[in-house]
Structure 1
Amino acid sequence: MVNLNGRLVADNQAIVPVDNRGLNYGDAVFETLRFSGGKIYFWEDHYFRLMASMRMLRMEIPMSFTMEFLEDEILKTINTQSENTSFRIKLLVWRNTGGKYTPKTNDVSYSISCEKLDAPCYVLNEANYEIELFKDHFIATGLLSTLKTNNRLINILGSIYAAENDFENCLLLNENKQVVEALNGNLFLVSGQYIKTPPLSDGCLNGILRKQLIAILKKLPQFSIEETSISPFELQKADEIFITNAIQGIVPVTKYRKKEFVNTTAKALLPRVSLTARMG
């Protein structure tokens, strides 16, 4: 079932108009959430990121869009599914129909959909995970690139490139040729006790797991975390590379070109991330 503006409909009957602004203009934002163990992981962070994104895109936020209301709508959608403990949820918000801006078209609509996940909690993937740079197109630096909008052509083309060349993932660059993120998550480089991740000013997604992991690392004296630009030349010098996102948690990279990586830090951090998700 899909939740369309609070109305539950079957997947094959979930219809939006052909002049939908999200479809025609990319005028939409979304949140991808994980539901496990009876709760939405990091729901407060997701909610406030959604509100900040809507404000940045000058969408009219309905008075009803409280954190409690949207949580109830998500849970109502999940409860239509057959029994399962873990789901991937997509909450999509778009500006209402109209070819140009008017007060009426600044109102919004939303949909909530979900699909089952195999694992009830974050699990470290220790399979081979080879990556490469995607250099055909570049992410623009600036705040718009940090939002989860439905303008994802670079990610789609990068995914096709990865599939055609037998890579598990690709890393994206900005116009300054700095490494920004992976196709589906934020990037962390480990060199000894030092961990680096690109800053938001370089155009990387303002990821929820990124935020949580930075907060965790700042409390651990054995690590030093820095938000700083990363050159492609640094990739092969790192001891470890991993990718983070809200659905998978931490995904270790095993190989980039001729360099192979360990997963020691990722393995040590994942239980802390999982605990934070369950307790938060």
Structure 2
Amino acid sequence: MINQDGKIIRDENAKLSVLNRGFAYGDSVFETIRVISGKIMFWEDHYFRLMASMRIMRMEIPSNFSPEFLEEEIKAIIEANGLENSPARIRFAVYRQHGGYYTPATREVGYVVTAEPMEDSFYVLNDDAYEIELFKDHYVNSGLLSTIKSNNRAVNVLGSIYARENSYANCLILNEKKSVVEALNGNIFLVKGKVIKTPPISDGAINGIIRKQLLNILKKTEDYTLEEASISPFELQKADELFLTNVAQGIQPISKYRKKEFKNDVAKVLLSKLNVHARLG
């Protein structure tokens, strides 16, 4: 079942025009949201990021798009799919209504909400082999557009194909300054001694929800020094630990980059703190 503009319909009955601007021009933004037994994880952060993304894309935010209204829309699709007592992954996509070419005929929007089941209620550490490489065929540009989740994900798609063709679990993306920005599906953190480093949003990194949660957690601990600073590719092999973050997986340790193999001790500790944070949030 799918929630399309507030109507719950069967998957096979859901239709978008071939002139839909999300399809035609990538004129769409989205949020990937984790729901556990009907509770939306980090909902306030998701809501404000969605509103910020719509403003950056100069979309008209409907007057009824309150946190309460959108929360009810998400819960409606959860119930329609029988996932009230299960972990679920939600995709909330907002697109500008069709009309016009590059210049939109309207700034009004429509939306689609989908739900699918997930295996685990809370984040579980995946300590399987997880080798990565740099994806250097294309770069992301630093700036606001790179920080939002839009339908313009060509670099991520091509990088994912490259990773699969070369038997890598993931790849890291560079910006036009050749700094490491993020992974194909999440933010990157580097651990060296007692310093934990992640690229700043100004480098073009996605303004990740789990990234934000970890920054808040790290700011309250005296065990590590947090740095939001550009990461050079040369730093990767000198690190003690590398890990990725996103809403679906939480924290994913990296086991190998080129000839360097990494530990996952810090990732384990932070994952435990993240699960506690999620339960209390």
Specify the TM-score bucket, using the shorter chain as the normaliser: over 0.9
TM score, norm. by length of structure 1 = 0.98
Find the counterpart in structure 2 of residue 140 from structure 1: 141
Find the counterpart in structure 2 of residue 53 from structure 1: 53
Cα distance, 1:82 vs structure 2 = 3.1
For residues 278 and 154 of structure 1, the distance between their equivalents in structure 2, rounded to whole angstroms, comes to 34
1:218 matches 2:219: yes
Find the counterpart in structure 2 of residue 75 from structure 1: 75
Find the counterpart in structure 2 of residue 113 from structure 1: 114
Find the counterpart in structure 1 of residue 26 from structure 2: 26
Find the counterpart in structure 1 of residue 9 from structure 2: 9
Cα distance, 1:277 vs structure 2 = 1.3
For residues 172 and 80 of structure 2, the distance between their equivalents in structure 1, rounded to whole angstroms, comes to 37
Find the counterpart in structure 1 of residue 172 from structure 2: 171
For residues 139 and 94 of structure 2, the distance between their equivalents in structure 1, rounded to whole angstroms, comes to 26
Q: Secondary structure at the match of 1:217?
A: helix
For residues 220 and 37 of structure 2, the distance between their equivalents in structure 1, rounded to whole angstroms, comes to 26
Residue by residue over 1:187-226, the C-alpha shift from the partner in whole angstroms, topping out at 9 and shown as x without a partner, is: 0000111000000111010001101101100101011010
For residues 60 and 193 of structure 1, the distance between their equivalents in structure 2, rounded to whole angstroms, comes to 45
For residues 13 and 193 of structure 1, the distance between their equivalents in structure 2, rounded to whole angstroms, comes to 54
For residues 261 and 231 of structure 1, the distance between their equivalents in structure 2, rounded to whole angstroms, comes to 17
How many percent identity over aligned positions?
Answer: 58
Residue by residue over 1:121-168, the C-alpha shift from the partner in whole angstroms, topping out at 9 and shown as x without a partner, is: 110001000000000000001111001001000000000000010000
Would you identify which runs of 4 or more consecutive aligned residues in structure 1 move more than 4 Å? none
Residue by residue over 1:83-116, the C-alpha shift from the partner in whole angstroms, topping out at 9 and shown as x without a partner, is: 55101100000000112445x6210000000111
Listed as ranges, the matches of 1:255-266 within 5 Å are 255-266=256-267
1:53 alignment partner AA: S
For residues 223 and 121 of structure 2, the distance between their equivalents in structure 1, rounded to whole angstroms, comes to 30
1:62 matches 2:62: yes
Question: Does the 8 Å contact 2:38/2:78 carry over to 1?
Answer: no
Q: Secondary structure at the match of 2:73?
A: helix
Listed as ranges, the matches of 1:91-130 within 5 Å are 91-100=92-101, 101=103, 105-130=106-131
For residues 119 and 222 of structure 1, the distance between their equivalents in structure 2, rounded to whole angstroms, comes to 29
TM score, norm. by length of structure 2 = 0.97
Cα distance, 1:247 vs structure 2 = 1.0
Question: Does the 8 Å contact 2:187/2:205 carry over to 1?
Answer: yes
Query: Could you list the runs of 5+ residues in structure 2 that have no partner in the other structure?
Result: none
Find the counterpart in structure 1 of residue 158 from structure 2: 157
Find the counterpart in structure 1 of residue 272 from structure 2: 271
Q: Secondary structure at the match of 2:80?
A: coil
Find the counterpart in structure 1 of residue 184 from structure 2: 183
Q: Secondary structure at the match of 2:269?
A: helix
Find the counterpart in structure 1 of residue 252 from structure 2: 251
1:234 alignment partner AA: E
Cα distance, 1:6 vs structure 2 = 0.4
For residues 271 and 35 of structure 1, the distance between their equivalents in structure 2, rounded to whole angstroms, comes to 18
Query: Could you list the runs of 5+ residues in structure 1 that have no partner in the other structure?
Result: none
